[in-house]
Chain A
Amino acid sequence: MGRTIKIDPVSRIEGHAHITLHLDDDGNVEDAKFHLTQFRGFEKFCEGRPFPEMPALTARTCGICPVSHLVASSKACDHLLSVTIPPTGANLRRLMNLAQLMQSHALSFFHLSSADLLLGMDSNPKSRNIFGLLAVDPQLAKDGIRLRQIGQTIIEILGGKKIHPGWMVPGGVSAPITEEKRAEMLAMLPEGLEIAQRTFESFKGLIGKFSEEIEHFGNFPTLYLSLIKPNGGLEHYDGFFRIKDDSGAIVEDMVPLEEYERVIGEAVEPYSYMKFPYYLPAGYPEGIYRVGPLARLNNCDFCGTKLADAALDEFRALQHGRPVSSSFHFHFARLVEIIFALERMKELLDNPHILDTRVRARARGNSDEGIGVAEAPRGTLIHHYKIDDDGLITWANLIIATGHNNLAMNRGIKQAAEHFVDGNNMQEGMLNRVEAVIRCYDPCLSCASHAFGQMPLRIELQDSRGKVLDQLLREVSL
């Protein structure tokens, strides 16, 4: 009789989800599903609202990456205004977006995933968290907290608040920065870079212990989608779409952002509130692709800053120049991007034009439709709005970064479960590995609910009629 294992909730991720593993009569994994169990409805309740409210309104989707929504939404509103925003306005937005990228990557790596990496996948779940990490490697834990603090503080200096700043608006940003603010931000960057490099070096030393995980943590061929600069460089704010296949061949290049519907389709499945985007010309589900740091580094020709480019060479060497296919290496790519973000922020702040006071273009809604695309920490984020003659939203579509990875996450947990889970001898560490695959993608399933350790983990074995045959309980550890 087939059985089902339910991992509910998935811990140390942002948002609420559970995983079901379906076992055959012999206890082998037959199928695996990642279920997003929460419903938000932003696209619907934004209807009727004035479009200038959209950046702040949609940013409330999430407390971890509100800046990413501010960027994509503000860009969609720029499109509605039909204006080119002042260069300094765009660069200030880039600055905040990079600070966001850095703090979010730091959260994912240090707070959510490093416990698995340092303490071990099979370590005691009660201490397999940031506090357990503090006991074993206090320097690493402090580094993570400090790096995140630097990113959050830069966001606060620019936008007045660490979470949900309101400074990014249609047409640019609402206020320029002062020399004092610039100096304050620049002063923090060297320490950040030191931490980032130190962590990168120590992570590389750990990789050898995880060869089995690297091999089975979502390691399969997919396409990769990301933004790209016109010259092929790493891009997080603007540019064009590029899609590469697993051999490294470019499938689509220099696709204007406004033409996203030509390459991206969206499917739905009855078992999840998350949509399943796919590469439209390849069909569903064959058009599976991945986004985020792994895809961005696989797609770009170079980063464009010294230390990040050196780190990119080491990333490329992981798979001998071919696109890196193991989702485990999202962690690696994240650390490279942290280095890049710190270097690029310094470049932006060193430019004297960053103090220019023309930072906003003003106009009314001059277009019926606006599309804004940017790279969120987790991948490409798309906001698409339609408005009426009075500037009220009539239709909205948001394609969230995590959604792009939905097909890959489902396939990834299946691969890991098939390898690690033995239905006849269930161990907590097996299931933690299945969760850890999800953590590689750093999914942001809603607004930030950092309830890791506070939610008990329940895993049930059920027969086909739902009768509980066996269960494992992870107790509240905080």
Chain B
Amino acid sequence: MPGPPVTTSTGMKVRVVTLKINEHDIGARETDSILDVAQANHIRIPSLCFLEGLSTWGACRLCVVEIEGYPRPVSACSTTVSEGMVITTHSDRLKRYRRTILELLFAERNHVCSVCVSNGHCELQDLAAECGMDHVRVPYRNQPYAVDSTHEMYRVDHNRCVLCTRCVRVCDEIEGAHTWDVMGRGIECQVITDMNQPWGDSSSCTSCGKCVQVCPTGALVKKGTAAGEMEKHDEFLPYLAQMRGNR
């Protein structure tokens, strides 16, 4: 049974539950996600679309975990903990799933790391290394996408985009401009600025650059960067989100 409600620093009353992650007994607030709890307890679960300070999207499925009694894996970022949960984060099946997801991401667009401006500073690349994705078993789609370099300071290379929508969420939830959105389905799906206009023509973009900093790959970058030179810094986000009252 969950314990009695406790009052958080923001005045909210929540209950504390106990659960197991990888056979470790853990206590957590019942409103927390599995990913939150794992991170707080230094248990690494690979994730891509999740970013602290932004709303949860649950699209990439890399953070899938197994819960005893559940018929299929669930995403750790979008599933809240409950009393008595028994969670496994790294079974053979989950490792296989994660590798496969990454292979599909790499096969869908052009993620040739060696010539990418984000080479060495890329979350997708790091995940591939972490999850042991050393080759891709499905055919590459080789679908070409145009590079939009019309913005004065930044560039979007859809060939490197994984559709995590971090840019869409940060622009909407933190900057409040909602310049970015998503258009199309399947292989035609891509992020767009305003009404699918060139980024340089966007009237809503404030050129704040938050989208560039939260982008996990070399899709959104500063212009003028050569291969391997684009380093992202998203440490600002949790503080900014807190200052804005998580609105």
A binding-site residues for B, Cβ under 8 Å: 48-50, 52-53, 55-57, 60, 164, 166, 169-170, 174, 362, 364, 390-392
20 CB contacts below 8 A, A to B, read: A48-B144, A48-B146, A48-B147, A49-B147, A50-B147, A50-B155, A52-B117, A52-B223, A52-B224, A52-B226, A57-B115, A57-B227, A164-B114, A166-B119, A166-B227, A174-B226, A362-B224, A364-B223, A390-B150, A390-B200
CB–CB B147/A392 < 8 A: yes
CB–CB A50/B146 < 8 A: no
Q: Kindly identify which residue among A55, A169, A170, A391 contacts B149, using a CB–CB cutoff of 8 Å.
A: A391
**Closest B residue by C-beta to A58:** B115
Q: Kindly identify which residue among A48, A60, A390, A392 contacts B115, using a CB–CB cutoff of 8 Å.
A: A60
CB–CB A60/B114 < 8 A: yes
Additional A-B contacts beyond A169-B229, A390-B150 (6; CB < 8 A): A48-B147, A52-B224, A56-B115, A170-B224, A390-B200, A391-B149
Chain B interface SS verdict (over half): loop
**Closest A residue by C-beta to B225:** A52
Taken together as a complex, chains A and B put the C-alpha atoms of A164 and B224 apart, in Å, by 20
Encode B90-131 as 1/0 by CB contact (under 8 A) with A: 000000000000000000000000110101000000000000
Which residues of chain B have C-beta atoms less than 8 A from A164's C-beta?
114
Does B209 make an interface contact (CB < 8 A)? no
Does B228 make an interface contact (CB < 8 A)? yes
CB–CB B149/A50 < 8 A: yes
Taken together as a complex, chains A and B put the C-alpha atoms of A170 and B224 apart, in Å, by 9
Which residues of chain B have C-beta atoms less than 8 A from A364's C-beta?
223-224
Taking CB atoms and an 8 Å cut-off, the chain B residues in 122-173 that contact chain A are 144, 146-147, 149-150, 155, 157
Q: Top 7 closest A-B pairs, CB basis? A: A56-B227, A390-B149, A169-B226, A166-B228, A57-B115, A52-B226, A56-B115
CB–CB B223/A53 < 8 A: no
Which residues of chain A have C-beta atoms less than 8 A from B150's C-beta?
390
Taken together as a complex, chains A and B put the C-alpha atoms of A50 and B227 apart, in Å, by 11
Q: How far is the CB of B135 from chain A (nearest CB, A)?
A: 18
Taken together as a complex, chains A and B put the C-alpha atoms of A52 and B115 apart, in Å, by 11
Taken together as a complex, chains A and B put the C-alpha atoms of A53 and B218 apart, in Å, by 12
Q: How far is the CB of A191 from chain B (nearest CB, A)?
A: 31
Taken together as a complex, chains A and B put the C-alpha atoms of A48 and B226 apart, in Å, by 15
CB–CB B155/A56 < 8 A: no
CB–CB B146/A170 < 8 A: no
**Closest B residue by C-beta to A54:** B226
CB–CB B146/A166 < 8 A: no
CB–CB A166/B226 < 8 A: yes
Interface centre among A50, A55, A391 (most CB of B within 10 A): A50
Q: How far is the CB of A370 from chain B (nearest CB, A)?
A: 15
Taken together as a complex, chains A and B put the C-alpha atoms of A48 and B159 apart, in Å, by 11
Taken together as a complex, chains A and B put the C-alpha atoms of A392 and B150 apart, in Å, by 10
B binding-site residues for A, Cβ under 8 Å: 114-115, 117, 119, 144, 146-147, 149-150, 155, 157, 200, 223-229
Interface centre among B149, B155, B200, B226 (most CB of A within 10 A): B226
Q: Kindly identify which residue among A53, A362, A392 contacts B227, using a CB–CB cutoff of 8 Å.
A: A53
**Closest B residue by C-beta to A164:** B114
Given contacts A50-B147, A164-B114, contact A55 B224 (CB under 8 A): no
Which residues of chain A have C-beta atoms less than 8 A from B115's C-beta?
53, 56-57, 60
Taken together as a complex, chains A and B put the C-alpha atoms of A362 and B119 apart, in Å, by 21
Taken together as a complex, chains A and B put the C-alpha atoms of A439 and B62 apart, in Å, by 51
Q: Kindly identify which residue among A53, A390, A391 contacts B226, using a CB–CB cutoff of 8 Å.
A: A53
**Closest A residue by C-beta to B146:** A48
**Closest A residue by C-beta to B226:** A169
Q: How far is the CB of B142 from chain A (nearest CB, A)?
A: 11
Q: How far is the CB of B86 from chain A (nearest CB, A)?
A: 46
**Closest B residue by C-beta to A170:** B226
Taken together as a complex, chains A and B put the C-alpha atoms of A224 and B134 apart, in Å, by 47
Which residues of chain A have C-beta atoms less than 8 A from B226's C-beta?
52-53, 55-56, 166, 169-170, 174
Taken together as a complex, chains A and B put the C-alpha atoms of A166 and B223 apart, in Å, by 17
**Closest B residue by C-beta to A45:** B144
Taken together as a complex, chains A and B put the C-alpha atoms of A73 and B166 apart, in Å, by 34
Interface centre among B144, B146, B223, B224 (most CB of A within 10 A): B224
Which residues of chain A have C-beta atoms less than 8 A from B157's C-beta?
50
CB–CB B155/A174 < 8 A: no
Q: Kindly identify which residue among B114, B146, B223, B227 contacts A55, using a CB–CB cutoff of 8 Å.
A: B227
Taken together as a complex, chains A and B put the C-alpha atoms of A60 and B116 apart, in Å, by 12
Q: Kindly identify which residue among B114, B117, B200, B229 contacts A174, using a CB–CB cutoff of 8 Å.
A: B229
Taken together as a complex, chains A and B put the C-alpha atoms of A174 and B227 apart, in Å, by 11
Taken together as a complex, chains A and B put the C-alpha atoms of A363 and B227 apart, in Å, by 17
**Closest A residue by C-beta to B117:** A53
Taken together as a complex, chains A and B put the C-alpha atoms of A390 and B156 apart, in Å, by 12
Taken together as a complex, chains A and B put the C-alpha atoms of A60 and B227 apart, in Å, by 12
CB–CB B223/A391 < 8 A: yes
Taken together as a complex, chains A and B put the C-alpha atoms of A162 and B223 apart, in Å, by 27
Which residues of chain A have C-beta atoms less than 8 A from B200's C-beta?
390
Taken together as a complex, chains A and B put the C-alpha atoms of A164 and B226 apart, in Å, by 13
Which residues of chain A have C-beta atoms less than 8 A from B225's C-beta?
52
Q: Kindly identify which residue among B114, B144, B147, B149 contacts A56, using a CB–CB cutoff of 8 Å.
A: B114
**Closest B residue by C-beta to A168:** B226
Taken together as a complex, chains A and B put the C-alpha atoms of A56 and B155 apart, in Å, by 18
Which residues of chain B have C-beta atoms less than 8 A from A49's C-beta?
147
Q: How far is the CB of A76 from chain B (nearest CB, A)?
A: 13
**Closest A residue by C-beta to B119:** A166
CB–CB A392/B149 < 8 A: yes
Taken together as a complex, chains A and B put the C-alpha atoms of A392 and B159 apart, in Å, by 14
Q: How far is the CB of A173 from chain B (nearest CB, A)?
A: 10
Which residues of chain B have C-beta atoms less than 8 A from A56's C-beta?
114-115, 226-228
**Closest B residue by C-beta to A364:** B224
Q: Kindly identify which residue among B114, B144, B223, B228 contacts A50, using a CB–CB cutoff of 8 Å.
A: B223
Taken together as a complex, chains A and B put the C-alpha atoms of A392 and B147 apart, in Å, by 8
Which residues of chain A have C-beta atoms less than 8 A from B155's C-beta?
50
Taken together as a complex, chains A and B put the C-alpha atoms of A390 and B147 apart, in Å, by 10
Interface centre among B115, B117, B144, B157 (most CB of A within 10 A): B115
Q: How far is the CB of B218 from chain A (nearest CB, A)?
A: 10
Q: How far is the CB of B7 from chain A (nearest CB, A)?
A: 52
Q: How far is the CB of A127 from chain B (nearest CB, A)?
A: 35
Q: How far is the CB of B154 from chain A (nearest CB, A)?
A: 11
Taken together as a complex, chains A and B put the C-alpha atoms of A164 and B225 apart, in Å, by 17
Taken together as a complex, chains A and B put the C-alpha atoms of A77 and B63 apart, in Å, by 42
Taken together as a complex, chains A and B put the C-alpha atoms of A393 and B185 apart, in Å, by 29
Q: How far is the CB of B215 from chain A (nearest CB, A)?
A: 16
Interface centre among A52, A60, A170 (most CB of B within 10 A): A52
